[in-house]
Amino acid sequence: MTTCRTTGLTVEQQERWPFLYSHLSSDIEIPSLIEVDEQFIIEMDKEISKILKQIGDGKAKSRESLTRHLTGLLQRRFQRNAKVQAFGSSITGLSLGTGDLDLCLSFKKEQPKKVLRKVAGLLREEGMMDIQQIPKAKIPIVKFTDSRSGLDVDISIENRLAIYNSQMLKGYAQDKRVREFILMIKYWASRRGINTAFEGTLSSYAWTLICIQHLQMTNPPVAPNRQKGGKKNLLEINGVSYDISNDSSPFESKNQQTLASLLISFFDRFATRWDWNEMVVSIRNGSPLNAEKKRWTHTGPLPLEVVTGQSKDRMEHVMPIEDPFDHEHDLSRVVKPDGAMTIQEEFMRALHLLSEGKSWKQICTPVMEIDEEPEDFFHDLRTQNTDLLKVRLDEMKSDITHVEEHIQSLVTERQNSKELLDLLRGTLQEKRNVKSNRQSILSELRPLSMKVQELRQTRDGINDRIAIPTKRIHQEMVRMFESLTSEVDVFNTQSLGRERGDFSYFFELQAMYKASIESNEAHQEFIRLRREQNKEYKALKDTNSQEEEVLNRLIEKNPELKGINLHPKTVKEFQHNSNKLQKSINIQYSKKHELKREIGRIEAWIRIATSKGNQRQRKDSKPRENRRQAPAVNINEVRERASSGGSFSLNELDALMAKGGISGIESTQRSSTSNQSERRKSGRKKSVYRVDPRQGRKRGKKQSRK
């Protein structure tokens, strides 16, 4: 196998997408699922009901308590202005137990600035792990992992539409068949690794919408259109109006199809009959929209062209899925070329395996290793000696006491460290206040000094010109005035020239007097401002001692802090230490949790083993005729009950486990399924449908070119 000349796919790519590749490279017809054997559907339904029982949301309680914890935390941080609402699968009833916790943080009054950074800081203080901020998205998000429960959490800011669309999905999921159908597709998508939007496949939300579309299109419909009819409800966000009408009235479907039959028709529809180039998934319409009319036709290269390196351009509307409330939002925007190829491969694979009569579990074989409970809960304990197990149990119980003590000491240490941190923060704040006080003094001092300077110049400038004191000028002015205005002695008149000289001297005196007054005033103001300036200088000096005082007070209360350099960096170091302590606490809590679980498991096993031993003992000690009949375990009946979810005793549980556990039931079913497969292989029908050319073949070329 080398790079294929028809498709351009490399050997690795051919191995990665084998089903798709075989259809792209040769003209194989796609198997049809239109006529599927009834018995196969019955078996598949049994298998599905068993899986549904296993996948219950085991983390629901952790989610609830984490939601409460985070709500309290955020409300304390934002002074009750914050509102925290859960959305997504934790409220829709569509959780597989493996999904994340989606929370929306909104604000009753004004939204604080840099809110994302504040939330991230708060989470860091709480010792949360892998905190990631996505501030530039349309809806800003902080992602993290709760270190105690291991839950992945998304906190999005003001994600109002999500609250409403989750409400609507919850309405759709009221119907058991709809809910279970969506859960099964989410189960398939998650185990096959095609439900991660940030890795370039579709989000769980997008898969949910595809499911609803399918159920709306069955004949008769299994799901209604909840956006038609009902009360009209408009919501305005940032000036855009969204129709969030949601008719939540109960819907009675006349469709009698079982889950298996609906799943088969789902793969039949989306693997072969759905033309992604022309059809847009639209649950608000109840049926697909025409891509051209919606102006959502595929543009840019085909996924195949990108993965084979023929193009590097961006693809648009590769699998168009319309958001039910935000009609401009195509949920396939995140799908990358690799992701599109993988999704198409998975559709083809499911189609092939179903047509070969393979079990649903085989179709959903995980692509990655996942943590699944071993089907025999006691598998590793069966061969162990009970007495040794009891010793191990005692050791574990003593371990748990040590872990609890360790937790207690870590919690106390963290509390102390947090108190110290608060103190440091407070002191740093006080220091900052002193600094800002100093800053404001300086900012007042600057213009004051300039003014003083200015006044000094005015005063000295005048004094340089006029050396005579004001009083003297005034006396001279009075004298001149009197001489100029006294009665004229006709016999002793002055010459005209002399008189002119006196007048001009008088006017000069007048100007001098005015300037001298100005100089005096400038001087007075100068003196006043200098006094003020001195006061400010003193206040400035005081701030230095205040800063020292703040530090001294801190050290007086906490002598261990002597020599500390109170700086934001120091506070950060303390913060870091506090986070580290929180992480250690979380690790110890998980250790305690694990120990508790294991203790419970061993105790349960010891109870079973002991009761078995007692039975054996009774059997040996009593004569045959007097022996009371030990409760007989009819394994077939127990299996029957296990597969239908009934309850059973410890004895029965053990008998079931010893006979191969739940997998024992499967192997029985599988053998009938594989017979089925044999039967089907011989008379399999071929369909006329071909692979979606958009995922593989070049547009317009349906013939094989190999």
Which residues form the interface with Mg ion (CB under 5 A)? 88-89, 99-100, 102
Q: Based on CB atoms, which residue is closest to ligand CTP, 242 or 378?
A: 242
**Which residue's CB is nearer to ligand CTP, number 329 or number 702?**
329
CA distances from 13 to 338, 444, 578 (A): 10, 72, 48
Between 44 and 66, whose beta carbon lies closer to ligand CTP? Answer: 66
Locate 156 and state its tokens: 């999005």
Residue 86 lies near ligand CTP (rule: CB under 6 A) = no
Cis, bond preceding 568 (omega within 30 deg of 0): no
Q: Does 205 bind ligand CTP (CB under 6 A)?
A: yes
Q: Is 94 in the site for ligand CTP (CB under 6 A)?
A: yes
Looking at 39-47, 60-68, 99-107, 114-122, which segment touches ligand CTP (CB under 6 A)?
A: 99-107
* Alpha helix positions (H), 558-567: none
Q: Is 197 helix (H, G, I), strand (E, B) or coil?
A: helix
CA distance 230 to 228: 7
Closer by beta carbon to Mg ion, 100 or else 247: 100
Residue 405 neighbours by CB distance under 10 Å: 11
Output the smallest distance, CB 666 to ligand CTP, in A: 25
Q: What is the DSSP letter of 683?
A: T
Tokens of 503: 């007048």
Q: Which listed option, ligand CTP, Mg ion, none, makes contact with residue 357 (CB within 5 to 8 Å by class)?
A: none
253 and 220 Cβ atoms separated by less than 8 Å: yes
Q: Indicate which of Mg ion, ligand CTP, none lies near residue 166 (CB less than 5 to 8 Å, by partner kind).
A: ligand CTP
Burial 568-581, CB ≥16 within 10 A → b, else e: eeeeeebbeebbeb
Q: What's the closest the beta carbon of residue 685 comes to ligand CTP, in angstroms?
A: 35
Binders of ligand CTP among residues 320 to 339 (CB under 6 A) are 331
Q: Which residues pair with 330 in a beta bridge?
A: 322
Neighbours of 3 (CB within 10 A): 13
User: What is the smallest separation between the CB atom of 197 and ligand CTP, expressed in angstroms?
Assistant: 7
Q: Is 161 left (phi over 0), alpha (psi -120 to 50) or beta?
A: alpha
Residue in 14, 95, 149, 213 binding ligand CTP, rule: CB under 6 A? 95
The answer to whether 166 contacts ligand CTP (rule: CB under 6 A) is yes
Cβ proximity to Mg ion, 67 vs 261, nearer residue = 67
Count of residues that interact with ligand CTP, criterion CB under 6 A: 20
CB of 94 to Mg ion, least distance (A): 9
Residue 500 tokens, joined: 């002119």
Beta carbon of residue 205, minimum distance to ligand CTP (angstroms, whole number): 4
State yes or no: residue 100 binds ligand CTP (CB under 6 A).
yes
Where residue 93 falls (left for φ over 0; alpha for ψ -120 to 50; beta otherwise) is left
Q: Is 201 in the site for ligand CTP (CB under 6 A)?
A: no
Q: Considering CB distances under 5 to 8 angstroms, the limit depending on partner class, which of Mg ion, ligand CTP, none binds residue 94?
A: ligand CTP
Q: In the window 357-416, what residues touch ligand CTP (CB under 6 A)?
A: none
Close Cβ partners of 413 (under 8 Å, ≥ 6 residues apart): 581
Tell me if 24 contacts ligand CTP by CB under 6 A.
Answer: no
Token pair 């969506």 is found at 182
Cα 486 to Cα 483: distance, rounded to the nearest angstrom: 5
Pick one of 123, 162, 264, 642: the residue that binds ligand CTP (CB under 6 A).
162
List of residues contacting ligand CTP (CB under 6 A)? 87-89, 92, 94-96, 99-100, 102, 161-162, 165-166, 169, 203-205, 208, 331
